[in-house]
Structures are given as C-alpha cells and as structure tokens.
Amino acid sequence: MTDAPDPGGANQPAPTSHVLSPAANGYRRSLFPGRGVSIYYDRHPPNEWDEHTRTQAQVSGLLEAVECLVRWRTADGARHETWVKGPAVWVIPANVPHSLTYPREADMVTLFVERTFVFETLGREITEFALVPLAQLASRDTVIGQLTKTFQKLCRGKEKENALYVESIGTVLGTHILQAMFGDSPCGKRGGMPVGAQLRVMRFIDEHLADRLDLVTLGRAAGFSACHLGRLFKKSMGLTPHDYVMRRRVAKAEELLETTDKKEVEIAGLCGFSDDTHMARRFRRVLHCSPRAVRARRGE
C-alpha cells in the first residue's frame, strides 16, 4: 500500500480524484475515490516520490516480501526514516510531509482515510507514524488477512474490478486495521517486546512452521528466556505464542491449498500440523471452514 501520484494505463483515461493527480508510466492505475476511504492499489513499479503531504491519513502496506524506504518529518521538524520490510502495514498521519522509495516492483495498496472517518472509528485523530507487520494484524483479525489477499489478487488482475466492491472492501479493511493498530488492541499497547525482537521471532516462526516451535526455541530467536518470551509476546501480540504459531500455520496451509495441488496430508506436514485431522480442527477454529472448502474456492 503506498500513496503515490500514480499511473494510468497508456490507452485509457485515468479517473479524476481529489486524492491523486493523473499520471502515466505504463502501469495499470486503480484508484477509487470514496466518501470516507479512497483506495489505490497496483502492481507497483520501482519508483521514488519526493516529499509531499496529504490531507488524509494514509494506511499503506506492502503485500509481499519486498522493501521500501519511508521518510517523514514530525511537527518539530525532526526527520525520520525506516526501511519497511513487507508484508507490513504503516500509517502516516494527515498533513505529515513524507517521501517514498521503492527499489523493486511490489504489490501495494493505500487507503486514504478522511479525518472524520478516523475520528468516528477511533474517537481521536492519528498523530504518530506507526508500523506493524501484516502477519501480526492478520493473526489478530482474520478479516484483515482475507481482504489483503483480495487486494493482492486485484493488484495482479486476478479479480474483477468493480468500484462499489473495491470501495466497500477498502472501507472495511481500513476500519479493521485502524482498530487493530490504534484501538484497544494490544497491537497499540506499550510494554511488550521491542519491535526488533517482534520482527525476529515472527520471521523465525514463518521460516520454521514445519518444525517444533516451543517457548525455548522462540525465546532464543527473540533474545529472551522462555518465561519472559511468553509474557512479553502475549502483551505485544494479544495472543500466546502457541496461538500465534497455529494461526500462522493455518494461514500458510490456506495459501498452499489455494495455490498448489498438494494433498491435504502433505500440506499438514509442511505447515507443522501432526496430521490432516489436526489441520482441519484448526481451520474450523480459525477460519470457520474446512480445508476442503478452502480448496473448493479455487474453482469459483
């Protein structure tokens, strides 16, 4: 998700919008102005944008494992920058000067969120830059995971565009992300693991889903004792390490069911479940459906 003055197809007029001005660089432009949330998504080219501001808060995110550089200035004039390693979601408050650099092509989507919508959702405005790994948000809220997958299909032209549909799912996604990041969710609370430790342990989990992942192993990856890891992880993520691992295993198995022809029992082993029956129990608990139902979606 990014906030670029972006591109329309060379042979079709770009839609007008109060959010982005027309531009053309050969890439498909998909911008949908909405009343509370305007949505932009694309298979985004390598590019760079100079410092600029928007009157809306921007919920932006990379939907795959690539990076972008985000620079911004706070009200006191201090300059900050960070490399965002996707998949991840970041938020830039309204009227904050910022710039972006994308070294590689990436699936991205940005929600331009009007200030009245932010206040209605949170009861306050967003005043600080925030960055959260997408896996953390998706593990706490399955709606976020499902809708980001939908946007990724849209980015790659695998889902039919419809303005009302896009505005609808963008508004729902914006609501869930704002509540997960800034509401009463533990994602917005302090006192848990440092961000660096969170990223290390989350990346370790994703890279070792098929392995035994106990508190000792995860604590070693994060740099904490097993006892401290369990307490800090729950405070940071709102889930126990076990529950988080199971949700990531379900998410990986769901992806393999949708994108491969591997048998369910093989997928179960690749994702760290004891067998396909164990995987099916977890699917019903997390996704409220069976692995067979997930696979059947491929034919829709």
Burial class for 235, CB neighbours closer than 10 Å (0-12, 13-18, 19+): middle
Report how far residue 119's alpha carbon sits from residue 107's, in angstroms, rounded to the nearest whole number: 29
Do 47 and 184 lie in a common domain? Answer: yes
The total domain count for the chain is: 2
Do 115 and 137 lie in a common domain? Answer: yes
Do 145 and 47 lie in a common domain? Answer: yes
Which residue has tokens 């009302």?
Answer: 164
Describe the crossing of helices 115-122 and 163-182 by its angle, rounded to 10 degrees.
Answer: 50
Q: Determine, yes or no, domain membership for 129.
A: yes
Would you call 231 helix, strand, or coil by DSSP?
helix
Q: Determine, yes or no, domain membership for 13.
A: no
- pLDDT at residue 8, as a whole number: 35
Which residue has tokens 């800034």?
Answer: 182
Q: Determine, yes or no, domain membership for 12.
A: no
- Where is the domain boundary, 188, 215, 240? 188
Contact between 240 and 234 (Cβ < 8 Å): yes
- pLDDT at residue 186, as a whole number: 46
Report how far residue 146's alpha carbon sits from residue 135's, in angstroms, rounded to the nearest whole number: 12
Q: Strand pairing of 106-113 and 47-52?
A: unpaired
Identify the DSSP state of 67: E
Report how far residue 270's alpha carbon sits from residue 252's, in angstroms, rounded to the nearest whole number: 9
Do 75 and 34 lie in a common domain? Answer: yes
- Walk along the chain (300 residues) in steps of 10 and give the mean pLDDT of each run: 39 41 49 83 85 93 93 93 94 95 92 90 90 88 85 84 78 89 59 72 87 93 89 79 88 88 95 96 90 80
Do 48 and 174 lie in a common domain? Answer: yes
Report how far residue 104's alpha carbon sits from residue 271's, in angstroms, rounded to the nearest whole number: 29
Q: Determine, yes or no, domain membership for 98.
A: yes
Q: Determine, yes or no, domain membership for 269.
A: yes
- Where is the domain boundary, 188, 203, 230? 188
Do 173 and 248 lie in a common domain? Answer: no
Q: Determine, yes or no, domain membership for 248.
A: yes
Do 175 and 230 lie in a common domain? Answer: no
Specify the CATH number for the domain of residue 212: 1.10.10.60
Do 147 and 48 lie in a common domain? Answer: yes
Do 35 and 178 lie in a common domain? Answer: yes
pTM: 0.65
Do 206 and 265 lie in a common domain? Answer: yes
Q: What are phi and psi of 239, to 5 degrees?
A: -135, 150
Q: Determine, yes or no, domain membership for 200.
A: yes
Q: Domain range spanning residue 269?
A: 195-299
Specify the CATH number for the domain of residue 162: 2.60.120.10
Q: Determine, yes or no, domain membership for 4.
A: no
Do 180 and 225 lie in a common domain? Answer: no
- Where is the domain boundary, 120, 155, 188? 188
- pLDDT at residue 198, as a whole number: 75
Do 172 and 36 lie in a common domain? Answer: yes
